[in-house]
Structures are given as structure tokens and as C-alpha cells.
Structure 1
């Protein structure tokens, strides 16, 4: 009897370990990307950008195809509009927002907001609301070290052709996401290593700015660096946040209440930049730089199993 119980226990332990290993298995799907960012899974294809290479590419499961190359853009955040076009963040010093069709052809571009203020500091990330409105982050001056708290959020209302400033005084505004009920906007302050939240009003303006999470209170800092902070993030259908921490080598899963639910440790590098959901949110596609100190930001896109 003891032998049988011991055997059953061993089998159960093996099954648990095997399931855990399968769950955490990391697969590199695209390699050799210079500045990997902006993963987005659309109709069976994985789209991603390279901010060093200045390219938008598509991976169809077998082959990678470059769709757009714009010198001086510094391709970064990528979002799908309600019209089924891409909104692309150009993160170089004089930021630009591009609208592209799915083949990568440029349709429109914006280089300033409704008051004529240029997007100095670069556009970092973009999110599209269910009603078709869109929010974009203006990062801030970058010359190797942070120099000013000058980040902003701009908003383009449904049907509008202009971007209006809706928040400012942000400590290097980076990733941006919206809750499933469309009532809350989350914003990464990269240098502050913090996530803020805002209430979204009916006209798209933002109110009730407040702190949501300090990452160093959720997980220990892996290194001490100005740029150790939340890079980009996504929100799943349950309202949980998936936050890529640059120089952290990880993606944090955080509940809508700010509780740490899971840490996805990424083996491919320490410069995790962004995350996308695969079909049914079963898999995560993570863009990651192998060495965050590499000026060429060589990296890859990896696929890992989500944890529910």
C-alpha cells in the first residue's frame, strides 16, 4: 500500500513539474530584431516593430516580411484602429504618429497636437478605445539619462483629425492601456518605476489622476538604473495588467486592484519592452532586447504560455 501511495505521489509530482515546465516554456519566434517593440497579433499574423531598424514587420508563422521602413521614425508602439489600420508611434526626438494600412503603406501623419505643440521627446505608445478614440504618450527628452518631467498624453476623438493634450507632467510617459469597461486608463511612468491611472470621461478627457502601483514594492529591483521601469503594457479581458519591465527581464501580471498575480521571467534578455495576446489570450508574445545596455538593442519576439 505504501509503495502504491508513494508511486501515485511520484506520478502526481512528475505531472505537476511537467505542467509547470510546459507552462513556462519560452519559444523564440522571431530573432535578430534591432529594437523589438509593439507586438500585435491580428488575424493569424504577428506584427512587430524595430525602433533601431525603423521597420514594421509581419510574421505569418513561417516567414518575416518588412512592411514599412521610415528613416528617422524609430518605430515603437503599435495599435490597430477601429478602421483596421495601424497607428504607429515614432519615438525619435521629434515624434510623429503615423497611420498605415495593413500592408504598411502610409496614409496619414501627425507631428503636432491641436495647439501646434510638436511631439518633442517622441511618441512612445498608442492605445485605441472601443469607440475609436485613441490615446498616445509623448515620452520626454532623452540623451542617455532623464532630464525633465515633461511626458504628456494626447487624445484623438472618434472622427477627429487632431490630437488634444489631456495630461502632462509625467515622468517619461511610456506604455498606455484601457480597462475592459473603458472607464480607466493606465499609464506607465518609466523613470518613476510606477503605473498611474486616470478616469476616462465621456468626452475622452482624463480626470482623477492617481497612483496605481510602484513596481519596486511588487518585485525587487533586478538592477539600479534610471530606466528600470515599466515599458509597455496590455490589459486582458478580465482587466488584469501585463507589464513589461525594461532591465527587469520580466513581465508582471497585476490585478485591477494592484495585486501581483504572477511574474513571467523572460530568458531571452533583460530588456523586456512589450507584450501581445495570442488567440484566446492563451499565449503571450513578448518583445525583448537581449542586453538593455546594447546600443543596437538586438533582440527577439518570444512566445510563452499565459497563466490564468
Structure 2
């Protein structure tokens, strides 16, 4: 009787196995049909949900879109307008405050723009990285402001209240770079060489500091500026552990907003070098940023997408 009872119990246990497996399979099937948000309800949404919005759709600009700037009327400008074609390179697009874009300006043949800045008179300064030039556009005509054959590739620009420019000048091939000061008369001074791949560059709102970042080294440097705009007391403001750095701008409080290329975020850094926040973007490759005139929005050019995103800050 003991053997028979044991055999019967083993039979019942064997018969239960398919039922348990079926329950497990059914649960897996139900879970697979749930929305992703339900499956990851306890996961922070900041990594998945962009803080920005699409301002200009993908493909309106060339994939190498760069150099945003805003004029006094709130129009946004960026280089390489017109989609993914060779003719788009060397152009500049103009975007209305509502996000409608059109062709605005064409650089001379062989020139391709990168950083754009406007002075207090509304004149445009455009870094031409293929021609080693800085172009100036006064609203009617385009003129050569500076040709400097010793530049590797004039990239981003910063501008002071007096109209003096600073230019980053990376040598991507050798992972190095330098920075220049460009006077109002169009002369240039090499401020430092043998740096990392210099890229984003900005002057603090109080005109006391110059910030320069190095893309591949992921460092942001701060220099003191004197009354003659000479640089001194170079200090490391912050270094990131991963991903590249690209364009950057200061807000009214002196915080830096830095495009983190490859990470798809904008980092907000205090004047003391503290990471205050990272804003998530739709795209992965932000190249540069600019503020609206009231500093309530940040416009971001997105490489590979050929798009412009807008981040509302207030």
C-alpha cells in the first residue's frame, strides 16, 4: 500500500507541472502585451521622455546643421539649409518664431559656415571652417572680415559687448586645437595653442570670463578677461566622464548650457562648475545652442537629423 500511495502521489505531481507552466506562460504573454510605460512604471522617465520639442522638422536642414543665432526680432539662423544635398552646404537658413524655415544667405563657393554670432548692430559674423575665414554680413552685403591661413578650422564664435570676437579652432586630425581673439578691425591674435579639440566658446554676461571646451577631452576651461580682453588664470571648470562636448552659451545668471554630443542632452553648469541639470533631447547629436532674446527658450541644432529642437526654460 505504501508503494501504491507513493506512485499515485508522483503521478498527481507530474500532472500538475503542465498547469503551472501554462500559468507562467500566460502571465508572460499578458506582460508582453502591456505598454512599455506600464512595464517600466517605477523607472524615472527623464531618460525616456525628452524635455525639448521639435521646432524645425528633420530634413529641413542638412545633417551637418550648426551655428544657431537669434536676431533682435526673434528669428533664428543656422547654417546648411535645404536638406541632405551638397548644395545645402554653404547656405544659411532663417527660421521664424513659429518654426517656418527658408533660405536666407549663400556663402561664396567653397565656403561652409559653422558658428554664427550677431553684434549689437545686428551684423552677422560667420566662421567659415573650409576657407579659414570669418565673414560679415550687414543686412545688404557679405564681406570678408578676416582670412587667417594659420587657423586649422574656425569653428565656434563668442562675442563681447564691444564686438570683439573669440574663435575656437580645432585640429580634429591631431586631437588638438587653439583659440583666437579677433579685433573689430579684423586683425587676429593667437591666444593659446596645443590645446585639446577646442569647440564651444563663450563670454560670461559680466564680460569677466572666457569659457572654452574641448570636445574629445570633455573638458571646460575658464579664463579671466581683463579690460583689454587678455586671457589669464586658466582653470579647469568641469570635466565630463563620457560623450563629446560641442557648442555652448551662457544664460543671464552666467550658467553654461553645453551640447553633449552623442548623449543627446544639454548640460547646465553653474559658474562654479557644478552640474545643475541635464535636459533630455529627442535627437542624440546636438551640435550647438542659442537662447531666445528673453532667455525663456533654448534652440538646439541637431546633427544627422537636420532639425532644430526647442527647450522651454520658463
| TM-score tier after normalising by the smaller chain length | 0.7 to 0.9
1:74 aligns with 2:101: no
- After superposition, residues 212-227 of structure 1 pair within 5 angstroms as 212-216=237-241, 221=242
RMSD: 2.3
- The Cα of 1:102 is off from its aligned counterpart by 3.4
| Alignment gaps of 5+ in structure 2 | 1-47, 82-87
- After superposition, residues 1-308 of structure 1 pair within 5 angstroms as 24-32=51-59, 33-34=61-62, 35-42=64-71, 43-50=73-80, 53-60=89-96, 61=98, 62-92=100-130, 94-102=131-139, 105-112=141-148, 118-119=150-151, 121-140=152-171, 142=172, 146-149=173-176, 151-157=177-183, 159-216=184-241, 221=242, 228-267=243-282, 269-289=283-303, 297-306=304-313
Query: How many residues of Structure 1 are paired with residues of Structure 2 in the alignment?
Result: 257
Q: For residues 90-114 of structure 1, give each alpha carbon's deviation from its aligned partner in whole angstroms, at most 9, with x where no partner exists.
A: 122x5211111235x31223221xx
- The Cα of 1:81 is off from its aligned counterpart by 1.9
- The Cα of 1:47 is off from its aligned counterpart by 0.8
The answer (yes or no) to whether the contact 1:23–1:304 under 8 Å persists in 2 is no
| Alignment gaps of 5+ in structure 1 | 1-20, 222-227, 290-296
SS in 1 for 2:263: coil
- The Cα of 1:63 is off from its aligned counterpart by 3.9
The answer (yes or no) to whether the contact 2:145–2:186 under 8 Å persists in 1 is no
- The Cα of 1:77 is off from its aligned counterpart by 0.5
What TM-score does the superposition give when structure 2 sets the normalisation length? 0.76
**Cα distance between partner residues in 2 of 1:301 and 1:171:** 28
- The Cα of 1:23 is off from its aligned counterpart by 9.2
The answer (yes or no) to whether the contact 1:111–1:118 under 8 Å persists in 2 is no
Q: Whose helix proportion is higher, 1 or 2?
A: 2
The answer (yes or no) to whether the contact 2:93–2:101 under 8 Å persists in 1 is no
The answer (yes or no) to whether the contact 1:167–1:206 under 8 Å persists in 2 is no
**Cα distance between partner residues in 2 of 1:255 and 1:102:** 36
Q: Which of the pair has more CA radius of gyration?
A: 2
